[in-house]
């Protein structure tokens, strides 16, 4: 594991964007695993600049996102599809038909999960997976559990996650109680993983995840078993 500590969120975003840019330069038709949350927003901003100034070209890139709230569709400004369009896809030359987010409005979420994993497999797997981390150690929406769950699946969100994400909604009651998330299988099969975290509040969970025991109670700790992980952390 490569653990990089930086001083500012700006620096974190610049480094993360450089790693993603290198991936695209090395393999222009790569599959990027993308994440939502506030942590990667700065990275997306840098990538948009890099695209504008001609440093990177997204036209042959495919993306697969980690997760989506159940019941929110693209017209809802809190859906992760809306977030990705708004913060990233609408501002770069990626082919939108090659950007995938799990469908949280699917009638059969189990079938949706199976189809999502099959699609990732058919794409040849994920070359580089970008991750944030929740305060309880969740990656995607894989919450603390008694076992690591492999396939893309429906999850019940933890009380702490609902509270943490309530800041984006009108109030806590508006936060969906369930979500669909890529499981540990597709995440761990990604060839490279890049996790970004910032803020003093994340320090404890970062320490637990990367320097503590590997346990499903701290979902991100499974990443210690991955052969190519880069963590970029900034306290500010
Ligand atoms: C959400 C997302 C996660 C993300 C987490 C942390 O719950 N499902 O993928 O990592 O938020 O968000 P933030 O970066 O805003 O702290």
Active site (catalytic) residues: 67, 136, 138, 143
**Cα–Cα distance for residue pair 120/102, rounded to 1 Å:** 11
- Contact 102 CB / ligand 1 (< 6 Å): no
Q: Is 161 in the pocket of ligand 1 (CB under 6 A)?
A: yes
CATH number of the domain bearing residue 14? 3.40.50.1360
Residue 93 sits at the vertex; the CA angle it makes with 89 and 95, to the nearest 5 degrees, is: 75
pLDDT digits (tens, 9 = 90+) for 91-107: 999 999 999 999 999 99
**pLDDT at residue 47 in the model:** 98
Question: What pLDDT does residue 32 have?
Answer: 98
pLDDT for the residue 226? 98
Number of structural domains in the chain: 1
104-135 pLDDT, tens digit per residue, is: 999 999 999 999 999 999 999 999 999 999 99
For ligand 1, say whether the CB of 141 is within 6 Å of any of its atoms.
yes
| DSSP per-residue codes, 71-104 | T--TTSTTSHHHHHHHHTGGGS---GGGEE---T
pLDDT (tens place) for every residue of the chain, 236 residues total = 999 999 999 999 999 999 999 999 999 999 999 999 999 999 999 999 999 999 999 999 999 999 999 999 999 999 999 999 999 999 999 999 999 999 999 999 999 999 999 999 999 999 999 999 999 999 999 999 999 999 999 999 999 999 999 999 999 999 999 999 999 999 999 999 999 999 999 999 999 999 999 999 999 999 999 999 999 999 98
Question: Is residue 99 a contact partner of residue 61, using CB atoms and an 8 Å limit?
Answer: no
Instruction: Work out whether the CA dihedral 186, 191, 197, 202 comes out positive or negative.
Output: positive
pLDDT value at residue 212: 98
Q: What domain range includes position 170?
A: 2-212+221-234
pTM of the model: 0.97
For residue 114, the model assigns a pLDDT of 98
Residue 40: both structure tokens together: 């990667």
The answer to whether 195 touches 202, Cβ cutoff 8 Å, is no
Q: Where are the beta strands (DSSP E) in the chain?
A: 2-6, 31-34, 62-65, 67-69, 99-100, 128-131, 153-156, 178-181, 192-198, 229-234
- Token output for 120: 């990732």
In the reported structure, the alpha carbon of residue 36 is separated from the centroid of ligand 1 by a whole-number distance in angstroms of 6
Determine the length of the chain: 236
Is residue 159 exposed (0-12), middle (13-18) or buried (19+ Cβ within 10 Å)?
exposed
């Amino acid at each position: 594991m490569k653990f990089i500590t930086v001083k500012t969120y700006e620096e974190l975003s610049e480094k993360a964007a450089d790693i993603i840019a290198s991936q695209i330069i090395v393999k222009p038709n790569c599959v990027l695993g993308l994440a939502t949350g506030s942590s990667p927003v700065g990275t997306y901003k840098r990538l948009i600049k890099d695209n504008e100034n001609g440093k990177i070209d997204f036209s042959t890139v495919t993306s697969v996102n980690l997760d989506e709230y159940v019941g929110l569709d693209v017209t809802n400004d809190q859906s992760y599809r809306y977030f990705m369009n708004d913060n990233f896809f609408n501002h770069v030359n990626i082919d939108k038909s090659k950007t995938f987010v799990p469908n949280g409005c699917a009638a059969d979420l189990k079938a949706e999960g199976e189809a999502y994993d099959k699609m990732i497999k058919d794409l040849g797997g994920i070359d580089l997976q970008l991750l944030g981390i929740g305060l309880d150690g969740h990656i995607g929406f894989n919450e603390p559990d008694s076992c690591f769950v492999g396939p893309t699946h429906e999850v019940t969100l933890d009380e702490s996650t609902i509270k943490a994400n309530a800041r984006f909604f009108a109030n806590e009651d508006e936060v969906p109680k369930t979500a669909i998330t890529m499981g540990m299988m597709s995440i761990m099969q990604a060839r490279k993983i890049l996790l970004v975290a910032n803020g003093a509040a994340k320090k404890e969970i970062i320490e637990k995840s990367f320097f503590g025991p590997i346990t499903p109670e701290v979902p991100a700790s499974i990443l210690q078993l991955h052969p190519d992980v880069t963590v970029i952390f900034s306290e500010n």
